[in-house]
Every structure is written in structure tokens, then in C-alpha cells.
Copies of this chain bind each other. A is one copy, B any other.
Amino acid sequence: MSVKTDHRHLYLQVIDRIKKDIEQGVYKEKEKLPSEFELAKQLGVSRATLREALRVLEEENVIIRRHGVGTFVSSRPMFTSGIEQLSSVTEMIRQAGRKPGTIFLSSSIQKPTEDDIKRFQCHKEEDLLVVERVRTANNEPVVYCIDKVPCKYLPKGIAYENESLLEILHDEANRYIAYAITHIEPLGYHEKVSPVLQCEPETALLVLKQMHFDENDEPILYSIDYFKSDKFSFHVLRKRV
């Protein structure tokens, strides 16, 4: 029995439980789940709660429901980990089974540009911390990162040289990044970035320009990440509307 009492809403726990069961093969692809009545009894929740969870799972394309027939595991249960899931570069490298590292290039306090003022909805005289780093995987440079964050969100004198900025913001500043609006651009050659990443002439870069927000929709962090295209692969599930 777990120590941590789960204060999260029931339907969320049900979602996680079902997802876990699918991932662990309790229910296999295309397989029929128990009936709602049965499943609700098994999980110890009401049918209404279970149905809210199933509705979300259906929307996420994890299951398929057919009126009068049953509920089935989707044939391609997408826990995607596609680009629509936001994770730090550190997490991405770690998830690829490699050792993340950081080469610290520069850090300075700057006044916001016109675009920054719009992005952060901040004052003209607001101070921004601008950090430039190269992220490495197994000591090989793979991403060039520029991060901008208003100083007011950061505690004084922290060491931002060694860790994921998202983690720092969470641990030190108690700011949890909940989502980001990301623009995706290709880049053939960048006279500053490409040499640093040791790019062959034919190796293009994928640029993600990301505005990060916290749970209260406050703009916290703006980042520009240059990914070496032969080291990262991005995919996304696109749904027709």
C-alpha cells in the first residue's frame, strides 16, 4: 500500500489506472474491456465517474466505444510521447537513453525587445535573464538553447548552469510550466549555431520557438531551441476535425 494519499480527483485516478493496465498488457490491443457496470464495480467507483474517465480516454484515442457493443482498446493506443507532450530537453535526452549534459555559453541581464514585451506582457524596463547553452547527449552537442525569463520569477543567485530550467523553475521558484505554444521552423544553416553543433553542411536544424505558461496562463519562459535533425526525431498525431 502506497503512503501517498491520492488527493487527485477520482476520475483522474481511474484514467491513470486504465492507462497503466493497457500499457502493462492487462488489456491488449483491440481487446474488449469489461462492461461499464463490471469495470465500475472492479475499480470501486460509480458508473458515472468511470464514464467520465472513459470519455476522456476515448477523446485521447486510447479506447474506442461503440454504443450497444462495448469498449475496446484502440488498435494503436497512443500514449504518443509525440511533440504535443511538452518535456524539457534534459528529459528528451534522458528518454533517448543518453546522458544529458550542458555547456554553458553565456548569461546576461537584458531589457526586453519589442517582441519580448508582447510575449511576456511586461514593462519596458523589466529585467530579463538570457541564458545561452549547448545541450549534449553523451558529451556530443545536439541542441543549442536560448532561454529568456523575467528575473522576477527567479530567486537570486541560483546555479542555472547544471540543470533543466523547467526543473529549476519548479524546484527553486515554485513555478510549474503547464504548457507551451510552440512554433516549428526548419533552418538549413545558422552561421553561429551550426558550427557549434558541429553540423555537416547537409544537416539541417529544427527550430522550436516556445512560449511557456504556468497553470494560471502566466507567460514564464521563452525559449528558442535548435535541434540537430539527425539526432532528434519529432512526430505528432494529427486528427481530422
Q: Which residues of A contact B (CB under 8 A)?
A: 9, 11, 48, 51-52, 55-56, 59-61, 67, 74-76, 83-87, 176-189, 201-207, 210, 217, 229, 233-241
* Chain B residue with the shortest CB-CB distance to A80: B181
Q: Are A188 and B206 in contact (CB under 8 A)?
A: no
Contact of A236 among B83, B202, B229, B241 (CB under 8 A): B83
Contact of A229 among B74, B179, B185, B217 (CB under 8 A): B185
Q: Find chain B residues with CB under 8 A from A179 CB.
A: 61, 237-240
How distant is A233 from chain B, measured CB to nearest CB, in Å? 6
- Complex A-B: 17 CB contacts under 8 Å: A48-B48, A55-B55, A55-B56, A74-B217, A75-B217, A85-B238, A85-B241, A180-B238, A181-B237, A182-B235, A182-B238, A184-B184, A184-B206, A188-B188, A189-B202, A204-B204, A210-B238
Q: Are A204 and B186 in contact (CB under 8 A)?
A: yes
Q: Find chain B residues with CB under 8 A from A52 CB.
A: 51-52, 55
Q: Find chain B residues with CB under 8 A from A60 CB.
A: 59
Q: Find chain B residues with CB under 8 A from A206 CB.
A: 184-186
| Residues A76 and B217 in contact in the complex (CB < 8 Å), given A56-B59, A234-B183 | yes
How distant is A158 from chain B, measured CB to nearest CB, in Å? 21
State in angstroms the CA–CA spacing of A9 and B85 once bound together: 29
Q: Find chain B residues with CB under 8 A from A177 CB.
A: 240
Q: Find chain B residues with CB under 8 A from A184 CB.
A: 83, 184, 206, 234-236
